[in-house]
Chain A
C-alpha cells in the first residue's frame, strides 16, 4: 500500500473521497493533533498579528521612533559581526577538538556546559561580574592598576559587545559540535596523502578541509543568523535594553512595545524584519527539504 501511494507525496491533499484506504484514514487521524496545534497557535496568531499591524500609521510611528532605528542597527551588528566571529571561532575550535588526545576529550565534555545549562542563571552571573562597584572584574582591575574599572553596562557600545559575548558564550559549543561532526566526516587518507606531498597546515585546510566543509559552514552561519534574531535572553537579561534603550535588538524591542501596550507597533516592528528573515528561511528550507 505504501508503494502505490509513493508517487503523490508532492501533490497537496486531494478532496476527501470514499476511495481512501484504511491506512490513509489513519494517516489523517494521526496528523490531526499537529494540524490543530498549527492552526490554533501558528496560523491564527500570525494572521491576527498581521491584521493588527495593517495600518500604515504604525510604520510611520516606527520610522519616527529613534529606538527602532537603533534596534535595527544593533540587530545588524549582532548578526553580521557577532555571528561571523562566532562561526569563525567555532570553525577554528572544531579543528582543535578533532585532535585525538585524552585531555581534549575531557575538555570537550566541559566545553558543552554553557549549552547544557539554562541561560538565565549564567547570564545573570555575567551581569554581576560586570557590576561596576561589586563585580569581580572591576575588583581585579582596581587591585592591579589602582584605577576604577569602566562602568561596563552603562556604555551602549560596550554593553552591546558584552551581550554579543554572552550570546557567543552560550551557543559556541553547539556550533562547534556540529562543525566537529563535519570535520570527522572527511576521509583521513586525504590528509595522509597531503602529508606525503609535504603540504603545510594552511594548504591542508585550504584544499581539503574547507572545500568539504564550506556548505555545512554556510548553512550553519545562516541558520545561526535566523535563530539569533530570536535571541531575547542575551540582551534582555544582561542590559535590559539599556542604557537609555540604546542596546535593544528587534526581539527585545517587540517585547518592549508589548509591555508599553503598543501591540500594533510591536507587530509592525516584526513585520519590518520579514523582508530579511523570509529569504533566509526560504533558502534554509530549500537546503533542508531536499
Chain B
C-alpha cells in the first residue's frame, strides 16, 4: 500500500475543515430537538449534551395525550394527514389535467394560463395569505378543513402545472399521433399513454404537494382555529401561548411531527432531485 502524499493529506484536511463545521451547523438544532425529546424535564433545562437518564417517557406522555396541550394530539395528527393527502390528490388531478391540456392538446390560450400560473407561483405565499383569509371568510369556509385544502391546492398547483408541462413537452409527439392512428380517443391517450409515461414526475409532484401541505404553518393557523380542527404545526405554535410551556413535550411532539416528511423526502429523493430541482431553476 502506498502512503498518501503530503499534498493529499493537506487536501483532505482542508476538506475536513469545511466538512466538520457544515456537519455541526446542520445537526445542532436537530440534535437539540432530539435531546429534549429523550430528556426528563430537569435534564432538559440543565444544558447537558446527553441526559443523565435518557428516557422515552416524553413520547409516552404524547402518545397517551397526558398533557393539557396534547389532549387532541391524535385528532390533530389525523387532520394533518387528511389535509396533506387531499392536497396531494387534488393538486395531482388539477395539475395533470392542465398540463396534458396545455402541452399535448395545445388548447387555445394554454400559453396564457401557463403564464398566469407561473405568475402566481412567484407571488410570495405570505402576501396572498391576507386576502385569502378574508376570501375564505366570504365563502363561509373559515374553520373548515376545505379552506386549508383549497388554499394549499392554489399554492401548489402553479409549480405542479409548470413542472408537469415541462416534462410532457419532452414526450415525443409521435406517440399521440400513433395512438390517434390506432383510433384512440383523447381520454384513452391520457390514461393509457400519457399517465404511465409521466409516472416519475407525478410521484415527484405528489410528494411535493403532500409535503407542502403537511409543513404549512401560516395558512393553517389563519384558516383553522378550533382545537379539534387544527393541524399539528398550529398545535405546536399554540404551546408558546403559555409562559411555562413544557418545552420537552413540545420538542417531542415536534420530533414526531418532523419524522413522516423526512421519511417521505428520503424515500422519494431519487424522484425529487431529478423531477424538482431540474424544474425549479432552468438555467
Contacts and interface: CB of A to CB of B under 8 A. Distances in A.
Interface residues of B, number: 103
A31 to B, nearest CB: 4
Interface string A22-37: 1110111011011101
Contact of A288 (B100, B118, B237, B250): B118
B108 A8 contact: yes
B27 interface: yes
A29 B68 CA distance: 50
Contacts, number: 294
Interface of B is mostly: helix
Contacts of A232: 126, 129, 217-218
Nearest to A93: B22
Contacts of B157: 34, 37
B212 to A, nearest CB: 10
Interface in A233-290: 233, 236-237, 250-252, 254-255, 257-258, 263, 266-267, 270, 273, 277, 280-281, 284-285, 287-290
Contacts of B94: 33-34, 37
B101 A30 contact: yes
Q: Which of A22, A31, A270 has the most B CB atoms < 10 Å from its CB?
A: A31
A103 B154 CA distance: 41
Contacts of A124: 236, 239-240, 250-251, 254
Contacts of A116: 261-262, 265-266
Interface stretch (B58-66, B70-78, B173-181): B173-181
Q: Which of A110, A117, A233 has the most B CB atoms < 10 Å from its CB?
A: A117
Contacts of B86: none
Given A140-B47, A251-B126, A110 B36 contact: no
A116 B135 CA distance: 31
What 10 A-B pairs have minimum CB-CB distances, sorted nearest first? Answer: A230-B124, A121-B254, A27-B107, A139-B47, A13-B109, A49-B131, A251-B126, A27-B105, A45-B131, A116-B265
Given A41-B151, A45-B135, 8 more contacts: A22-B186, A23-B186, A110-B27, A134-B45, A177-B277, A230-B125, A258-B130, A267-B131
